[in-house]
Chains A and B, each alone.
Chain A
Amino acid sequence: NAGVTQTPKFRILKIGQSMTLQCAQDMNHNYMYWYRQDPGMGLKLIYYSVGAGITDKGEVPNGYNVSRSTTEDFPLRLELAAPSQTSVYFCASRQLREENSPLHFGNGTRLTVT
């Protein structure tokens, strides 16, 4: 199994440009998450989804949008890129709402906005 796949691995954007970070999982997990990690900082939750068609805001949702049209995919959209969005973005998934089911993370997308 591929697990959680994130594309692209790296991207450089100019201020004001838009892009979509892709995330796909092949484990039929209901829950999916988007985190960002700034240099020297921990993981901050951007958005999450508990199933297809259902999304909700996390700690730092401003400047981002998500959609969940299928169980497998959870893309993250940046509409007007700003330097403050320079970060490493991680997508994760887990099975149902079971406390002992761990998150499975992708290897991240490193985004630079200049």
Chain B
Amino acid sequence: DQQVKQNSPSLSVQEGRISILNCDYTNSMFDYFLWYKKYPAEGPTFLISISSIKDKNEDGRFTVFLNKSAKHLSLHIVPSQPGDSAVYFCPPPYGGSQGNLIFGKGTKLSVKP
């Protein structure tokens, strides 16, 4: 069974500082991880992904790190901006044999001005 856990339900950081959101996974049979961002009253949107053959992927202020030995994934936002305040999800890229895709609760990031 493919499991990804976000152990921190919320995170608060000051504008301009770094935000670090974490995910841990139990099954190594992934080729990609994808992060999504969700604002209130909107559907989630794709943010950034990382391939299992890489340990880092960067897109502007967003960088995702993959530590395969620790089965740990993290998203860094530098510098954090108030507009980054949202809920962030790192679901397994797909589940089972039919695409059963579980999202979970995510991590709520609050960036204070």
Where chain A touches its partner, the secondary structure class is strand
The answer to whether the Cβ of B56 comes within 8 Å of any Cβ in the partner chain is no
CB distance from B112 to the nearest CB of A (A): 20
The answer to whether the Cβ of A103 comes within 8 Å of any Cβ in the partner chain is yes
Q: What residues of chain B lie closer than 8 Å to A105, measured between beta carbons? A: 43-45
The answer to whether the Cβ of A2 comes within 8 Å of any Cβ in the partner chain is no
Q: What residues of chain A lie closer than 8 Å to B43, measured between beta carbons? A: 4, 90, 92, 105-108
CB distance from B34 to the nearest CB of A (A): 6
Beyond A4-B43, A42-B103, A107-B43, 9 additional contacts (C-beta under 8 Å) are A42-B87, A43-B89, A48-B100, A56-B98, A56-B100, A99-B32, A100-B32, A102-B49, A107-B42
Q: Which residue of B lies closest to A31 (CB)?
A: B99
A99 touches B106 (CB 8 A): no
- Of the candidates A41, A43, A50, A58, which one forms a contact with B44 in the assembled complex, judged by CB atoms under 8 Å apart? A43
Q: Which residue of B lies closest to A91 (CB)?
A: B43
A50 touches B98 (CB 8 A): yes
- B-side interface size class: 20 to 34
- Give how many A-B residue pairs fall within 8 Å (CB-CB): 69
List 7 tightest A-B contacts by C-beta distance, closest first. Answer: A105-B43, A42-B105, A102-B46, A43-B103, A99-B93, A100-B32, A99-B32
State the A residues within 8 Å of B (CB).
Answer: 4, 31, 33, 35, 41-45, 48, 50, 56, 58-59, 90, 92, 94, 97, 99-100, 102-108
A33 touches B101 (CB 8 A): yes
Q: What residues of chain B lie closer than 8 Å to A90, measured between beta carbons? A: 43-44
Q: What residues of chain A lie closer than 8 Å to B46, measured between beta carbons? A: 102-104
> 21 A-B contacts, Cβ less than 8 Å apart?
A4-B43, A31-B99, A33-B101, A35-B103, A42-B87, A42-B89, A42-B104, A43-B104, A45-B102, A48-B99, A56-B100, A58-B100, A59-B102, A92-B43, A99-B93, A102-B34, A102-B36, A102-B49, A103-B36, A103-B46, A105-B43
